[in-house]
């Protein structure tokens, strides 16, 4: 395939009300795409739609973690009279802290949104994406490249996204469908508010601008790449993880992510 333009394409973006999703919507609209904005907050989605060029944004309100959400989104998009060329599966969240410190329902919600919704949306929209010779962008995370203690379920969901994306790329690339998996590191979004008390402090470091992450993702998609890690440091870390045992990698990450009260005294 050759480099692509987003002008004239219909792009569905999940988690579009804030953070990376909002940045995806803004960048795609600037590039001439019509964006279909999907999230739970009608107020935020409508405010974003008003800020984008007239006629280039449509709003679909949905709780993607709810059973049957993907089918309802598909019906809502059809009711708008739109097809989907590109699907951006961005919606997701993570929880920080000991695994036993969270109710099972909260852990399940991460799986429902980060994995189940992503798979089901891919499934319902893929036939028309293939007909339109479009593509899919999945948002994973550097947390998916190795076990992530104190964010165990989140890291596991992102490892799923990485594996699922690579498999889909191999299946769909010969059929003319692009599949890109983008893996950001720490990014300046509301992620840390949802992750829980102490996450911002323990997961310290310079946080990337969402617009920069999106620019990396769109350039990689346009260049027909299958995977991209945002940021040189993140890319180096994910590469280095290949040379460690998973147990050793988990121990290293645990020292970086453990809540302060979970860190044993050193002396």
Can you give the pLDDT at residue 101?
Answer: 86
Question: Which option is the CATH number for 10-259: 3.40.640.10, 3.50.50.60, 3.40.50.720, 3.40.630.30?
Answer: 3.40.50.720
Residues of the chain with pLDDT under 50: 1-2, 192, 195-197, 199-202, 262-267
**pLDDT for 241:** 79
Backbone angles phi, psi at 246, to 5 degrees: -65, -35
Exactly one of 154, 164, 169, 191 is catalytic; name it. 154
- Tell me which H or E stretch contains 89: strand 86-89
Q: How confident is the model at residue 128, as a pLDDT?
A: 98
Contact 257, 96 (CB under 8 A): yes
Show me where the domains of the chain are located. 10-259
pLDDT at 190: 58
Strand pairing partners for 88? 13, 137
pLDDT of 239: 78
pLDDT for 204: 54
Question: How many CB atoms within 10 Å of residue 85?
Answer: 22
Could you read off the pLDDT of 118-138 as tens digits, one per residue? 999 999 999 999 999 999 999
Check if 154 is active-site: yes
Tokens found for residue 264: 């044993």
- pLDDT confidence of residue 254: 87
Name, in order, each residue with C-beta under 8 angstroms of 218's C-beta and a sequence gap of 6 or more.
Answer: 6, 27, 28, 31
Query: Residue 18 has which token pair?
Result: 């804030």
State the pTM of this model.
0.87
Please provide the DSSP assignment of 120-171 as one string: HHHHHHHHHHHHTT-EEEEE--GGGGS--TTSHHHHHHHHHHHHHHHHHHHH
């Amino acid at each position: 395939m050759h480099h692509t333009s987003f002008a004239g394409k219909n792009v569905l973006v999940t988690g579009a009300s804030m953070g990376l999703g909002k940045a995806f919507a803004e960048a795609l609209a600037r590039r001439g795409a019509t964006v279909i904005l999907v999230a739970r907050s009608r107020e935020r989605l409508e405010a974003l739609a008003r800020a984008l060029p007239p006629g280039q944004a449509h709003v679909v309100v949905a709780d993607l973690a709810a059973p049957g959400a993907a089918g309802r989104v598909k019906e809502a998009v059809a009711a708008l009279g739109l097809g989907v060329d590109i699907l951006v599966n961005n919606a997701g969240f993570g929880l920080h802290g000991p695994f036993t410190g969270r109710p099972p329902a909260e852990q399940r919600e991460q799986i429902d949104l980060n994995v189940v919704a992503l798979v089901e949306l891919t499934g319902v929209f893929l036939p028309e994406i293939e007909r339109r010779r479009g593509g899919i962008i999945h948002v994973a995370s550097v947390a998916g490249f190795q076990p992530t203690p104190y964010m165990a379920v989140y890291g596991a969901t992102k490892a799923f996204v990485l594996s699922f994306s690579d498999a889909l790329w191999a299946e769909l690339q010969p059929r003319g469908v692009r599949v890109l998996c983008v893996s950001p590191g720490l990014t300046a979004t509301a992620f840390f508010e949802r992750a829980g008390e102490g996450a911002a402090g323990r997961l310290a470091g310079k946080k990337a601008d969402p617009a920069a992450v999106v620019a990396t993702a769109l350039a990689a998609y346009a260049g027909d790449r299958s995977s991209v890690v945002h940021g040189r440091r993140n890319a180096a870390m994910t590469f280095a993880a290949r040379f460690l045992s998973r147990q050793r990698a988990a121990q290293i990450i645990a020292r970086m992510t453990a809540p302060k009260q979970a860190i044993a005294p050193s002396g």
